[in-house]
Chains A and B, each alone.
Chain A
Amino acid sequence: MDYLIFSFSLMLVYIGLAQLLHVQFGLLGIPNFGVVGFWGLGLYGTGVLYVSYDVPLVPAIIVASLIVAVVSYVLASMVLQRSGQAILAATLAFAAMVATLVVTEKQLTNGVQGLGTIGFPFGDLASRNVVYFGVLLAVVVALIWVSAKLRDSRMGRMMIAIRDNEELAASLGKDTAGTKRTVFVVTCALMGLLGGLTAPLHQFLVPYHLAPSLTFAVWIALVLGGKSHNLGAMIGVFATFGLFDILIETYAPVPAEQAIMLPNFKLFCYGVLLVMIIMFRPAGMLGEDRPRHRARADAAPANDTAVKEG
């Protein structure tokens, strides 16, 4: 039971990350391939503060997120106005740097031996992992809700305009560089926050957690679900992490000899799914959604057709 709660908690973290990536890439067009770096900096930042400096968990998470904000601001100032490929390479490199530093800076992170233990908050409540799951759920629901509001807002419309044609948006007076930087910093800091919230789940932090596979898992989930759809991130994580890591690994009656092949089979399935989606449904399973509250004029087609070509 505890393992299941752990799996579902981790799934919520994945959904949260994919949702933030939806804002960065789906709405604003920033190809962030360093998700694990921002998340990992939050994770290890929290861990180091908590274990080595005896900072309580909540302030540790907040400080770690702020550190991620500062770091992502510096990164944003350097690369965001360059081409998509440059951003992709730079963020990927950033994640690799975080992973490497965690191994080499032993006096802070205890290197490959691992850093621990980080306990759940809520004292000695018996079902504190369940309560913690509730906290994660609230955070992720809030993220999804705010990004739905964002998509339907004036700011969201401007972000979509920047994604479609940045130069044109700037020529209309929109501060494209400033908007991209601000949104990137806020969403990266939130990835760091999710990283900090992951620390009590893992309890014991090892550099293995910072492998790029997390970035790819989140990207695959987002592309599968629909990068520009507000619920695409969630559906994508259900279809990948939920289906394989939870359902099949926990419940499928796979004989022990074959069980060892499961992780490879999982990657194989991800690959096939990804290729099929890109070939047959490039916008993802859910496609692209449109703003909800269309204003009066949009909703009422009226007698428009009669005037056509008038």
Chain B
Amino acid sequence: MKLEAENLTKAYHQHEVVNIDKVAFGAKGLEGLIGPNGAGKSTLMGLLTRRIAPTSGRIRLDVGSGSRELNPLKSHEVARIGLIKTNQRIQGFDSLTIRDSLRLAVTSPRSEGFMSIFAGERDPEDVEERVSRLIEAFPFTDRNGYARSGGEKKLVDILRCLIAEPRLLLMDEPTAGLPDDITRTVMDIVRQKVADGKMRVVVVEHDLPLIWEYCDYVHFLSEGSILFEGAPEEVKSNRVVAEKYMGV
């Protein structure tokens, strides 16, 4: 599983926000993407999931059996071949309960056709089990109801992506708006799933201690380009990163 971008650029009114010669995500398990504000991290995430159209460049997803060109695909097709992204800003389905939201995410689109109208049972036992197991790991105010606070909505957004188990999950600032202990529980689940080989993950974060603790590999993005890549220890001690980001 590898997501590769080549000569990827995105410009708004001649102002180049992203300009990357070559980058590959998903080769190392749990990877981090860091960089100062305005470095183009979120734009890059949007480009990779086809939510933003690139000005130029190619994006390919290597899925073992061959590689798929992402450029001509629509956003739901990208999700179906195994690339999903959590949202930086709160997104949700207001009319769905927390459980329904997760059931929706775990249900394959193939079983949501017209025939499902006449199916006896809406969700099979194993779906219910997976949903319950995940929900019970977190202290929701009302586990059988709706997400109440912004934090709960943000958490549901992340859990939707986790339970869908994409091949590659992009997490856009998962800690923003979440209490510390919840973030840790989430990251522990993420690490477990990565260790089990269920998925690869890229985390975009400003919370550097979290990056150093959890990630196996870190990409440093500044002014739209990848300036440095390496193991957390290497990135931490790199002079360019220190100058551009940590303000030393």
A-side interface residues toward B, CB under 8 Å? 146, 149-150, 152-158, 160-161, 163-165, 167-177, 228, 288, 291, 293, 295-298, 301, 304, 307-310
Q: Is B67 part of the binding interface, using a Cβ–Cβ cutoff of 8 Å? A: no
B93 touches A160 (CB 8 A): yes
Q: Establish whether residues B104 and A158, one from each chain, have CB atoms under 8 Å apart when the complex forms.
A: yes
Within 8 Å by CB of A152, from B84, B107, B114, B122, lies B122
Residue of B nearest to A308 (CB): B139
Q: A174-B112, A304-B143, A308-B141 are in contact. Are A153 and B122 (CB under 8 A)?
A: yes
Q: Which of B74, B117, B143 contacts A170 (CB 8 A)?
A: B74
| CA gap between A170 and B75 in the complex, in Å | 6
A-B contact pairs, 17 of them (CB 8 A): A153-B117, A153-B119, A155-B113, A155-B116, A157-B107, A158-B104, A158-B109, A161-B101, A164-B96, A167-B75, A167-B91, A171-B51, A171-B76, A172-B79, A172-B160, A304-B143, A309-B139
**How far is it, in angstroms, between the C-alpha of A297 and the C-alpha of B125 when the chains are bound?**
11
Q: Which residues of B contact A291 (CB under 8 A)?
A: 100, 122
Q: Are B80 and A173 in contact (CB under 8 A)?
A: yes
The one of A158, A171, A295 in contact with B128, judged by C-beta atoms closer than 8 angstroms, is: A295
Q: For residue A146, which residues in chain B have a CB less than 8 angstroms away from its CB? A: 117
B117 contacts A165, C-beta separation under 8 Å: no
Q: What residues on A are CB-neighbors of B161 within 8 Å?
A: 172
In the complex formed, the residue of B with least CB distance to A148 is B117
**Contact between chains at B92 and A168 (CB < 8 Å):** yes
Taking the closest CB of chain B, its distance from the CB of A226, in whole angstroms, is 14
B104→A172 contact, CB < 8 A: yes
Q: In whole angstroms, how far apart are the Cα atoms of A149 and B85 in the complex?
A: 32
CA distance A176 to B132 in the complex (A): 27
* Bound form: Cα–Cα A175–B131 in Å: 23
Apart from the given pairs A161-B101, A164-B93, 5 other A-B contacts in the complex at a CB distance below 8 Å: A152-B122, A153-B116, A155-B116, A167-B75, A172-B84
B93, B97, B103 interface centre (most CB from chain A within 10 Å): B93
Q: Which of A154, A156, A171 contacts B79 (CB 8 A)?
A: A171
Q: Residues of A contacting B132 with CB < 8 Å?
A: 297
Chain B residue nearest to A163 in the complex (CB): B95
B76 touches A157 (CB 8 A): no
Q: Are B79 and A157 in contact (CB under 8 A)?
A: no
CA–CA, A150 and B114, complex, Å = 8
A157 touching B96, Cβ below 8 Å: yes
| Chain A binding surface SS class | helix
Q: Does B149 contact A (CB under 8 A)?
A: no
B237: Cβ under 8 A from any A Cβ: no
Least Cβ–Cβ distance between A213 and chain B, in angstroms: 31
B109 touches A173 (CB 8 A): yes
Which residues of chain B (150-176) have a CB below 8 Å from chain A?
160-161, 164
B118 interface residue per 8 A CB criterion: yes
Of A157, A160, A164, which is in contact with the most chain B CB atoms at under 10 Å from its CB? A157
CB contact list, B17-61 vs A, under 8 A = 49, 51
B76 touches A176 (CB 8 A): yes
Evaluate contact between B92 and A171: CB separation under 8 angstroms: no
Q: Indicate which residue in B80, B139, B144 contacts A307 across the interface (CB closer than 8 Å).
A: B139
B100 touches A170 (CB 8 A): no
Contact of A168 with B91 in the complex, beta carbons under 8 Å: yes
**Shortest Cβ distance from B126 into chain A, in angstroms?**
12
Given the known interface contacts A152-B122, A155-B112, A171-B85, the answer about A297 and B93 at a Cβ–Cβ threshold of 8 Å is: no
What chain A residues lie within 8 Å of B139 (beta carbons)?
307-310
A304 to B140, CA, bound (A): 10
Most B CB within 10 A of own CB, among A149, A156, A167, A174: A174
Among B114, B141, B143, point to the contact of A155 (Cβ < 8 A): B114
Give the top 9 A-B pairs by smallest Cβ distance, nearest first: A173-B79, A154-B116, A164-B93, A170-B76, A173-B80, A170-B75, A153-B117, A154-B112, A155-B116
On whether the beta carbons of A293 and B122 are closer than 8 Å, the reply is: yes
Asked if residues A157 and B91 are in contact (CB atoms below 8 Å), the reply is no
Chain B nearest CB from A169 CB (Å) reads: 8
Residues of B within 8 A of A161 (CB): 93, 96, 101, 104
Return the chain A residue nearest B76 by Cβ: A170
Q: Within the assembled complex, what's the spacing in Å between the Cα atoms of A156 and B95?
A: 12
Docked Cα-Cα span, A91 to B128, in Å, equals 40
Q: Which residue in chain B gives the minimum CB-CB distance to A147?
A: B117
